[in-house]
Amino acid sequence: MKTADPELMRAMNRFSVLDSIRRHGPISRVEITERTELSPTTVSAITGSLLDDGLILTRHEGDIRSESVRGRPRVMLELNPAAARVVGAKIAANRMVFVVTDFCGSVLAALTLPIRIDRQPISVIADIVEDGVRRCVLDAGLALSEIHSICLGLPGVIEHRSGHIRSSPILRDANVDFAAEMSARLKTTTIVESDATAITLAHHWFGQARDLEDMVLVSLEQTLGLGVLHNNRLFRGAGGLSHNLGDLVLGMSKDGVMRLASQAGENAILGSEQADGRFAEAVRLGRGMAHAQALIEADDSPLIGAAIRAGETIGFTIANIVTLFAPPRVIVVGSSLALGEPFLTSLRKAYALAIPPSLQDVSEIVFDDSNDDLWARGAAAVALYELYESPWNTTGPAL
């Protein structure tokens, strides 16, 4: 077990303060005191040290309640955007999205590469990723040496702690130490993370879960992913292993197992339409969902049927997830949301049927169709999170 010494105590409170500043914009010391329940003294000491380290800035203007308030005005504190920069990336089968963000998580530069990397050997993919990172950093007017760390989000079973990709639908190889590979290439600390986990943190920081400390996110893309926020922290399986919803088994028959991915994955839904040559081509190029959307609006009944079936399956799967994690909110994201009403309605209906009565009021389902940038930004947030947890001068009694 981790041993508790003053240093840990300091680190915890420092994180607590830093997190308050991040979450609640420009914020005064008094308000931090209230939020963290730390004493004014401690807050003052910690913010002082954060200021010394250049992680935060003061601002004298922004006190909202400045009109007709008597005493000394509050000095507002905010993150120093220039304190560090990180790169976040979303790596998917048919595209990569890179962003460079500052210390606040604001995007400085974004780059989308619509490249189909599906099942290329690892070296090819690493080449493309390396290139993307370098270009995006350049676009931001920075040098790679100015980047503190990089986080790559990709689908599959990721072992965050060790940086290994145990398996990913977009890779040919299995069990690759991708973090080490990319760290060596870019000479910058690189971590890998499940894309679903990344977007989960993105929603916690910037999106629909800012107000929550527990939450579950289901991502419906070519791969089906799951992210869990538990007690304000990302919950990963034992050993830091990420979840992979698509691997869930729905049932068994003589021929083998029926997995969720084969029932409600993007390919499964669109696959029902593969007869049409133009459509298949669109799918291959990553435009499948856009096409599907058009077809559904034109009342393409086989596709609508597939969407309804998928929605039903996802619906009760979400109910199962709620049974296990009891989160107050489930956020559903991903390209499959483009299937529109037939899909969503059947999902909601199936969920309502499947959720056990005793959990009926526990969870609300929310849909969110943010763009790819948010995913990449989530990856960046993962990198920032690790930074926040151990701000370089962890020890720093002023001086």
Partner DNA sequence: CGATTTAATTTGCGACGCGTATTAATAAGA
Partner DNA sequence: TCTTATTAATACGCGTCGCAAATTAAATCG
Binding site for DNA (CB under 7 A): 3-7, 9-10, 13-14, 28-30, 37-42, 44-48, 60, 66, 68-75, 395-397
Task: Tell me the C-alpha to C-alpha distance, in Å, between residue 311 and each of 91, 263, 329, 353.
Answer: 25, 10, 18, 13
Cα distance between residue 370 and residue 366, in whole Å: 12
State which residue, 29 or 377, has the beta carbon closest to a copy of itself: 29
CB 58 within 8 A of CB 32: no
CB of 342 to a copy of itself, least distance (A): 16
CB of 242 to a copy of itself, least distance (A): 9
- Please enumerate in sequence order all residues whose Cβ is within 8 A of that of 299, keeping only pairs 6 or more positions apart, or say none: none
- ∠ CA 88-227-210, nearest 5°, is 75
* Residue 59 DSSP class: E
Task: Single out the residue of 142, 149, 96, 214 nearest to residue 386, CA to CA.
Answer: 149
Cα distance between residue 332 and residue 359, in whole Å: 19
State which residue, 18 or 289, has the beta carbon closest to a copy of itself: 18
Q: From the list DNA, a copy of itself, none, pick the one residue 82 interacts with, judged by a Cβ distance below 5 to 8 Å according to partner type.
A: none
State which residue, 37 or 61, has the beta carbon closest to a copy of itself: 37
Task: Tell me the C-alpha to C-alpha distance, in Å, between residue 61 and each of 27, 65, 284, 290, 315.
Answer: 12, 11, 53, 46, 49
* Separation of CA 82 from chain center: 22
State which residue, 26 or 311, has the beta carbon closest to DNA: 26
Cα distance between residue 310 and residue 330, in whole Å: 18
CB 200 within 8 A of CB 327: no
Q: From the list a copy of itself, DNA, none, pick the one residue 72 interacts with, judged by a Cβ distance below 5 to 8 Å according to partner type.
A: DNA
Q: From the list DNA, a copy of itself, none, pick the one residue 359 interacts with, judged by a Cβ distance below 5 to 8 Å according to partner type.
A: a copy of itself
State which residue, 25 or 48, has the beta carbon closest to DNA: 48
Give the three-state DSSP class for 235: strand
Q: From the list DNA, a copy of itself, none, pick the one residue 290 interacts with, judged by a Cβ distance below 5 to 8 Å according to partner type.
A: none
- ∠ CA 172-136-100, nearest 5°, is 100
CB of 4 to a copy of itself, least distance (A): 4
State which residue, 37 or 67, has the beta carbon closest to a copy of itself: 37
Q: From the list a copy of itself, DNA, none, pick the one residue 393 interacts with, judged by a Cβ distance below 5 to 8 Å according to partner type.
A: none
CB of 34 to DNA, least distance (A): 10
CB of 161 to DNA, least distance (A): 24
Q: From the list DNA, a copy of itself, none, pick the one residue 30 interacts with, judged by a Cβ distance below 5 to 8 Å according to partner type.
A: DNA
CB of 399 to DNA, least distance (A): 9
Q: From the list DNA, a copy of itself, none, pick the one residue 75 interacts with, judged by a Cβ distance below 5 to 8 Å according to partner type.
A: DNA
Strands laid side by side in the 76-79 sheet: 27-28, 76-79, 56-59
State which residue, 77 or 100, has the beta carbon closest to DNA: 77
CB 270 within 8 A of CB 288: yes
CB of 134 to DNA, least distance (A): 38
Gyration radius of the chain over CA positions: 23
Cα distance between residue 6 and residue 11, in whole Å: 8
Q: From the list a copy of itself, DNA, none, pick the one residue 134 interacts with, judged by a Cβ distance below 5 to 8 Å according to partner type.
A: none
Q: From the list DNA, a copy of itself, none, pick the one residue 145 interacts with, judged by a Cβ distance below 5 to 8 Å according to partner type.
A: none
CB of 218 to a copy of itself, least distance (A): 12
Residues near a copy of itself, by CB under 8 A: 1, 3-6, 8-10, 12-13, 16, 19, 36-38, 156-157, 166-167, 174-175, 214, 226, 230, 232, 237-239, 241, 243-245, 247-252, 256-257, 312, 316, 319-320, 323-328, 350, 353-354, 356-359, 362
